[in-house]
Amino acid sequence: MKQKFQILIVDDDVELASNLQDILEAEGHSTAVANDGQTALSHCREKVLDLALIDIRLPDMSGVELVGRFSKLSPRTEFIIITGYASLETAIESVQQRRIIAYETKPLDVEHLLALIRQIIERKQAEQKLLEYQELDKMKSDLLSIVSHELRTPLAVIKGYSTMLVDYDKRLSLSEKRADLMSIDRATDGLIELVNHLLDMSRLDSGLLRLKRSSTSILKLVQKTIAEAQLRHPEHTVMSAVTKRLPRVNVDAQRIRQVLDNIIDNVAKHSREGTKVMVEAKRVGSELQISIADQGRGIPTEELEKVFDRMYRIEQRVDPKVGDAGLGLGLAISKRLVEAHGGRIWVESEVGRGSTFFFNLPLDTGKGGNHRNEEKSKKEHTGHRR
C-alpha cells in the first residue's frame, strides 16, 4: 500500500517552495512546484496528485479559490493551506469547508507539517483497507449464495433420482433404473468438480498452492490431453498441431494439464456439436505458446477481459444450451495457474466465428523451479552443442 505521496507545492515564494521540496523529497515523497494557480491546475490535469500544499495568497488567484477549482478536476487530492498570520481567519474558515483538511502557518513548522502528512497517509491507508474489506465481504456473500445455488442443482438430481428409485422400485424398468443411476453419478462428478474448484481457488487466494515443477515434454502432454478430451467430447473433433522438437519446459505438468482441460471443456461447452477444437503449441521468442481455438459463437469485445473473472459466468445470463452446472471458476483458476508459472493468458475472439485462447509460458523457467533443472537448462544454453 502507498507510503509515499505525489505532492504539489503551490507558492510564489520560490525559496520557500524549493526548501519544502527538499524536505519532502528527503522523506521519500515525489514533489512538483507551481508558482501560481494556473500552473498548479495544469499540473493536476497531467498527474494524479495525492496532496497539494497551497499558499493562501497566489499571484493570480486566492489559495481557497484554487482549491475549489482543483478539487473539481482531481477529487482525490487532499489540500493543506499555508498561511501567514494576516490571513489566518480566512484559512480557518476554509478548513471548515469540506475539501481543505488543515492549515499551516508561516513560518512553517516542518516537523508539524511532516507529522500531518504522515497522518493523512495513515488515514488514506485505513480508508483503502476498509474499502477492500467491504469489497471482500460482498464477494464472500455473493460467492456463498452462488455456491449454495450451484450445490443445490446436482444435489437435486441425486436426491430426486435416488428417492425415485426407492419409491417406485417396482414400477421402473431395469434400463430406466440404470439411466437414473447414471444421472446420479454425473451429478456426483459435478459436485466433485465444484469442490475441487473451490479448493483450488481458495488455495490460490491464500498462496498455499505450491507448483511441483519438473522438466516436461509439452508434446506428450498435449497429445495425452487431446486424446482424453476427445473421449470427453465425442461431439467435437479435437485436433492438435504441435511443433516437434519443442524444448522441455519446467512446469507443474498436472497444473498445466488442468489449464488445458479447463479451456478445452469450456470451448467445447460453448460451441456447437460437430465443430472443431484446435490445440496448438509452438515456440514464440523466448516463450512457449499454447492456443486453443474453437468454432463457437465468439465473445463480444467488451467481455473479453471479463472471461477470466471468477464471477463471469454468474454475471451473464446462462445460455440454455450450455447446460452448465458449475461456478465458472475454471477459467479464473486457469489464469491464476498460468500466472503462477510466470506466464500470461488471454483470449482473442470474433463474434460468430469463434474464439482462440492463448497462454504463454516462459521457456526459461528458472525462477521458483528447483535448482537442478535451472542448472541443466543453463548448460544447454551455453553448452557444447553448436
Partner 1 sequence: MKRNQRKSILVIEDEPEICEFASKVLELEGYEVLHAEDGNEGLKLVREREYAMILLDLKLPESDGWVVLEEIMADQELHRIPVVVFTATAEISQRNRAISMGVADYLVKPVSATRLKEIVAHVLRQER
Which residues of the shown chain bind partner 1 in the complex (CB under 8 A)? Answer: 145, 148-150, 152-153, 155-161, 163-164, 166-168, 171, 183, 186-187, 317-320, 323, 325
CB nearer to partner 1: pick between 5 and 161:
161
CB nearer to partner 1: pick between 152 and 372:
152
Torsion angle of C-alpha atoms 133, 70, 111, 109, degrees rounded to 10: -150
Q: Smallest distance from the beta carbon of 200 to partner 1, in angstroms?
A: 23
Backbone angles phi, psi at 53, to 5 degrees: -100, 120
CB nearer to partner 1: pick between 53 and 191:
191
CA–CA separation, 330 vs 265, rounded Å?
9
CB nearer to partner 1: pick between 89 and 167:
167
Cα distances (angstroms) measured from residue 290 to each of 130, 269, 280: 40, 20, 6
* Cβ pair 66, 38 in contact under 8 A: no
* Cβ pair 337, 359 in contact under 8 A: no
Cα distances (angstroms) measured from residue 35 to each of 43, 47, 289, 337, 345: 11, 17, 53, 51, 47
Q: Smallest distance from the beta carbon of 275 to partner 1, in angstroms?
A: 21
Cell match 479559490: residue?
65
CB nearer to partner 1: pick between 73 and 144:
144
Q: Smallest distance from the beta carbon of 263 to partner 1, in angstroms?
A: 24
Cell match 488471454: residue?
346
Q: Smallest distance from the beta carbon of 311 to partner 1, in angstroms?
A: 15
Cell match 460468430: residue?
352
Cell match 468454432: residue?
295
DSSP code, position 383: S
Q: Smallest distance from the beta carbon of 327 to partner 1, in angstroms?
A: 13
Q: Smallest distance from the beta carbon of 172 to partner 1, in angstroms?
A: 8
**For 49-76, b where at least 16 C-beta lie within 10 A, e where not — what string?**
bbbbbbbbbbeebbbbebbbebbeebee
Q: Smallest distance from the beta carbon of 171 to partner 1, in angstroms?
A: 6
CA–CA separation, 303 vs 308, rounded Å?
10
Cα distances (angstroms) measured from residue 100 to each of 93, 96, 332: 10, 8, 43
CB nearer to partner 1: pick between 150 and 294:
150
CB nearer to partner 1: pick between 157 and 288:
157
